[in-house]
């Protein structure tokens, strides 16, 4: 009888220890995030086991106008190198966070994280800056062997990172030079996953993956939606920049700019199984923006994407061969480099203005200038295949444009098995110039003799 009691007590203590270590069993297990069906060409680096007894729950401040950034920094420093940091309450960040020291740590977000929007100019002055396209960010997360995840089975408002973008969207209507932070930056990250999280209302882009390698993003829910009908600018889903071996997959994005954009020096990237609504497409670029800089985008595979109510779908955008002005705080052209070995495969187009867009005149309405100063950057070995669905009536019967600025700037661009219909029911046509037309399974027509529409670049 005593033996049974001791056995029962031991079992109870073991159960208690497990529950205590896991925050009363409310902490979800780390998802097994695996690229599928394609990977970026190599296996992820091994991840060291986490200490089951090292959990740091981030403290929440007591006041409405608080800044929880010091609590976040403290928890991540305490549980770095083998522990798990838990965000299970509501947090407000009011100062920038440089978290590029992370190593062998899990970050679990079951609560909500928001950024103080009471003074948009505070963030203009205090955010981390990137010289590339005058970007900035609230916080930078970097290091190695980091897993960031939440639980999408929780109700809306949980497992969420919220940029409170409305204040910035309103302010930029009258101050177009306002610098608006990116919601999240993975910068200098090696061997990381991010999954099962919601992201809401970024002031600018949702994400930048910069100076990083071996990254998997999966099962994310991104939405930029104004409560007041305010125009939402530049809400890119993910932008890769100077990064290698990245997979972005199995996610939903409702935004107003590129769903995914491959910025300069993005290599070995797979984007697959996404649903994108309201965007500017899955875009290579823009690239070739800065004179005396070389941009390389190489080895991309974009697979099984649904795109709805977008300006473009499969898109490559290159600046012309001379620097020109485009928007406030944004000018470019004259850079060198190349786009090479890019495949778009199995794309479902639903009411997008164009199914295919290739331009080397990005940011410039004057077509004559682009012809006079062809892009310095070349586009080689691109395949766009198995694209089906519909376009909008905006350019009917045109369903896309494939325009290179000189005969020697584009080579081996292949378009195959395109079954995209236009609303009028007429045979769809595509503007083509300086292409190898025998590699295009399309009906090509000449460009109209008019300035380009640069409203979307």
Residues 6 or more apart whose CB falls under 8 angstroms from that of 149 comprise 28, 30, 31, 106, 107, 108, 109, 193, 194, 195, 196, 197
Measured CA to CA, the distance from residue 278 to residue 135 in angstroms comes to 22
Catalytic site residues? 257, 280
Measured CA to CA, the distance from residue 140 to residue 241 in angstroms comes to 14
- Which tokens go with 426? 């007429």
Q: Check if the beta carbon of residue 351 is closer than 8 Å to that of residue 296.
A: no
Q: Which of 362, 373, 384, 380 is nearest to 406 (CA)?
A: 373
Burial of 103 (0-12, 13-18, 19+ CB in 10 A): middle
Measured CA to CA, the distance from residue 2 to residue 270 in angstroms comes to 61
Q: Which of 40, 20, 59, 19 is nearest to 193 (CA)?
A: 40
Measured CA to CA, the distance from residue 403 to residue 387 in angstroms comes to 19
Task: Tell me whether the omega of the peptide bond preceding residue 117 falls within 30 degrees of 0, making it cis.
Answer: no
């Amino acid at each position: 009888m005593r033996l049974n009691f001791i056995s029962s007590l031991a079992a109870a203590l073991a159960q208690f220890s497990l529950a205590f270590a896991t925050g009363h069993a409310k902490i979800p297990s780390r998802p097994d995030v695996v690229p599928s069906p394609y990977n970026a060409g190599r296996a992820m680096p091994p991840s060291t086991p986490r200490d089951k007894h090292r959990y740091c729950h981030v403290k929440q401040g007591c006041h409405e106008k608080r800044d929880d950034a010091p609590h976040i920094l403290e928890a991540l420093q305490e549980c770095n190198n083998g522990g798990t940091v838990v965000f299970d309450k509501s947090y407000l960040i009011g100062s920038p966070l440089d978290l590029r020291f992370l190593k062998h740590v899990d970050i679990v977000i079951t609560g909500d994280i928001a950024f103080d929007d009471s003074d948009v100019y505070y963030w203009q002055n205090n955010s981390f800056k990137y010289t590339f396209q005058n970007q900035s960010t609230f916080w930078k997360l970097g290091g190695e062997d980091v897993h960031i995840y939440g639980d999408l089975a929780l109700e809306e408002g949980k497992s969420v990172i919220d940029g409170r973008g409305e204040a910035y969207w309103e302010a930029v209507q009258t101050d177009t030079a306002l610098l608006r932070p990116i919601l999240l930056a993975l910068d200098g990250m090696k061997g990381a996953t991010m999954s099962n999280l919601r992201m809401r209302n970024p002031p600018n882009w949702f994400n930048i993956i910069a100076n990083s390698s071996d990254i998997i993003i999966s099962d994310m829910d991104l939405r930029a939606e104004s409560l007041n009908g305010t125009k939402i600018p530049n809400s890119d889903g993910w932008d890769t920049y100077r990064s290698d071996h990245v997979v972005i997959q199995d996610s939903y994005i409702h935004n107003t700019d590129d769903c995914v954009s491959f910025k300069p020096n993005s290599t070995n990237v797979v984007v697959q199984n996404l649903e994108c609504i309201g965007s500017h497409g899955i875009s290579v670029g823009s690239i070739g923006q800065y004179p005396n800089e070389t941009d390389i985008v190489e080895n991309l595979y974009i697979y099984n994407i649904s795109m709805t109510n977008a300006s473009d779908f499969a898109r490559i955008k290159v600046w012309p061969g001379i620097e020109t002005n485009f928007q406030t705080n944004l000018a470019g052209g004259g850079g060198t480099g190349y786009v090479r070995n890019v495949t778009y495969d199995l794309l479902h187009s639903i009411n997008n203005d164009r199914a295919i867009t290739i331009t080397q005149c990005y940011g410039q309405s004057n077509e004559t200038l682009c012809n006079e100063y062809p892009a310095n950057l070349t586009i080689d070995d691109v395949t766009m295949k198995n694209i089906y669905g519909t376009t909008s009536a905006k350019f009917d019967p045109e369903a896309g444009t494939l325009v290179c600025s000189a005969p020697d700037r584009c080579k081996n661009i292949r378009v195959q098995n395109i079954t995209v219909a236009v609303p009028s029911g007429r045979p769809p046509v595509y503007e083509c110039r300086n292409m190898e037309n025998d590699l295009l399974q399309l009906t090509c027509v000449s460009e109209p003799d008019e300035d380009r529409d640069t409203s979307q670049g």
